[in-house]
Amino acid sequence: MNKGILIIGAGGVGRVVVHKAVQNLDTFKKITLASRTLSRCEQLKKEVNGKIDIDRVDADNVEELIALIEKVKPFMVLNIALPYQDLTVMEACLRTGVHYLDTANYEHPDTAKFEYKEQWAYDERYKKAGIMGLLGSGFDPGVTNVFCAYLQKHYFDEIETIDILDCNAGDHGYPFATNFNPEINLREVSAKGRYWENGEWKETEPLEIKMVWDYPQIGKKDSYLMYHEEMESLVKHIKGLKRIRFFMTFGESYLTHMRCLENVGMLRIDEIEVDGCKVVPLHVLKALLPDPSTLGERTKGKTNIGVVAKGLKDGKKRKVYIYNVCDHQEAFKETGAQAVSYTTGVPAMIGAKLMVEKIWMREGVWNMEQFDPDPFMEELNKQGLPWVIEEL
């Protein structure tokens, strides 16, 4: 049976997916990595002692993708490039009859809007073609969705509130740098906040709401309410939910730099003209900032990402916290990438493993919480992202 995977994107997360997939070569049998810059693929091939095939592709181009998929003939494609490529890769998978997985929802390059609408619109066509699309198989979205499904299955009759808490306490020693693709990161952080309560979305100014949370193995950190894409599917799939919010930690230095850059217009994503050249300010900033893939070696500290849920079990109130702690240096030792890439790449590999093994396999386009969480939770413990569950 064909169990081969085609990984598209050789950035920070792609690096982790490759390393973890090679560790699971008995499952996948054949691994191909393709990206825009071939030299990145060559470097990774060297690191894993030639155990992968490599190729070059422009994932914005559907015809190129189709030609590559027809050449490689994989069981599935893992889209680990950028959210801008989600629709072209989904389209190429549809036209070649190959399963699809990604880690982030589609974004249009010209508007910072995070929503599943255009990807969910593929559902009927994927069903007709007999293929599956798994959306958001990273950490958040991804593991956080699976945590919610696990709590719903084993801990609650009804979940009333969910807070997703994302802390990165890593220190890379730079005054300002982003831990994953700067463009995607800064678009997300500078967007308006949004949470869902009593059946409707409520909007806040960017980072307007702050709370302090005591993260196990890290300590107390300022945590800011943001919009995050997994909430859009969780409000549909978690029974009885009355409120869901997402919080992320930011240090003072990061926020001061970001506000300053925003105030001078460096986060703008529209084109401006400078000395006769057309440039997008955020692209210029991206070119100036440290490449996230070079941060791994310098980053020390831990991440802690988890879910706090409140609700009812057997008529009694209950509050449960489930989280994973990941150490930047340990992640780097194993894969050459820091914990933000590690915590995204490992779940991407696990999602693919469950699809290849037909444990998670259903025609159509799905979010993570729509599958049985147990096999995924087991794999997290085996593949380097152990989790802890506590009654609060």
Question: Which 219-248 positions form the footprint of ligand NDP (CB under 6 A)?
Answer: none
Cβ-closest position to ligand NDP: 11
Measure CA of the first residue to CA of the last residue in the chain; give whole Å: 46
Please spell the DSSP secondary structure of 44-56, one letter per residue: HHHHTTT-SEEEE
Q: Whole-number minimum distance, CB 279 to ligand NDP, in Å?
A: 17
Q: Please tell me whether residue 349 binds ligand NDP under the rule CB under 6 A.
A: no
The correct pick among 81, 226, 267, 295 for binding ligand NDP (CB under 6 A) is: 81
Among 5, 6, 7, 9, binds ligand NDP (CB under 6 A): 9
By CB under 6 A, how many residues form the interface with ligand NDP?
Answer: 34
Site pattern 122..151 for ligand NDP (x: CB under 6 A): ----------------xxxxx---------
- CB atoms < 10 A from the CB of 91, how many? 16
159 vs 385 by CB, closer to ligand NDP = 385
> Min. distance of Cβ 36 from ligand NDP in angstroms?
3
For the stretch 236-241, contacts whose Cβ atoms lie closer than 8 Å and that sit 24 or more positions apart, written own/partner, are 237/149, 237/367, 237/369, 237/370, 238/148, 238/152, 238/159, 238/162, 238/369, 239/152, 239/158, 239/159, 240/158, 240/159, 240/160, 240/311, 241/159, 241/160, 241/161, 241/162, 241/196
d(CA 328, CA 297): 9
Q: To the nearest whole angstrom, how small is the minimum distance from the Cβ of residue 229 to ligand NDP? A: 8
Measured from the CB atom, the residue of 142 and 193 that comes closer to ligand NDP is 142
Instruction: Please report, as residue ranges, which positions from 275 to 294 form the binding site for ligand NDP (by CB under 6 A).
Output: 292-293
Among the listed residues 258, 344, 350, 351, the single contact to ligand NDP using CB under 6 A = 344
Burial 117-149 (b: 16+ CB within 10 A, else e): eebbebeebbeebebbbbbbbbbbbbbbbbbbb
**Distance of closest approach, residue 61 Cβ to ligand NDP, in angstroms:** 8
Q: Looking at 18, 32, 54, 83, which residue binds ligand NDP (CB under 6 A)?
A: 83
Quick one: tokens of 284?
A: 């210029």
Whether the CB-CB separation of 59 and 88 falls below 8 Å is answered with: yes
Shortest distance in whole angstroms from residue 100 CB to ligand NDP: 14
Q: What whole-number distance in Å separates Cα of residue 306 and Cα of residue 271?
A: 38
Q: Which is nearer to ligand NDP, 304 or 341 (CB)?
A: 341
Tokens describing residue 62: 């559907």
Binding residues for ligand NDP restricted to 13-72, rule: CB under 6 A: 13-14, 35-37, 40, 57-60
Quick one: which of 24, 32, 103, 338 contacts ligand NDP (CB under 6 A)?
Answer: 103
Closer to ligand NDP by Cβ: residue 129 or 295 = 295
Spatial distance between the Cα atoms of 11 and 17, rounded to a whole number of angstroms: 10
CA angle at 67 for the pair 114 and 131, rounded to the nearest 5°: 55
Q: From CA 57, how far away is CA 187, in angstroms rounded?
A: 25
As measured in angstroms, the least distance from the Cβ of 345 to ligand NDP is 8
Q: Is 357 helix (H, G, I), strand (E, B) or coil?
A: coil
Q: Which is nearer to ligand NDP, 106 or 156 (CB)?
A: 106
Burial of 277 per CB tally in 10 Å (0-12, 13-18, 19+): exposed
Write the interaction track for ligand NDP spanning residues 151-190; mark x where CB under 6 A is met and - where it is not.
-----------------------------xx--x------
Which residues on neighbouring strands pair with residue 316, listed in sequence order? 313
Beta bridge mates, 183: none
- Kindly list the residues in this chain that would bind ligand NDP in the complex (CB under 6 A): 9-14, 35-37, 40, 57-60, 80-83, 85, 103-104, 138-142, 180-181, 184, 292-293, 340-341, 344
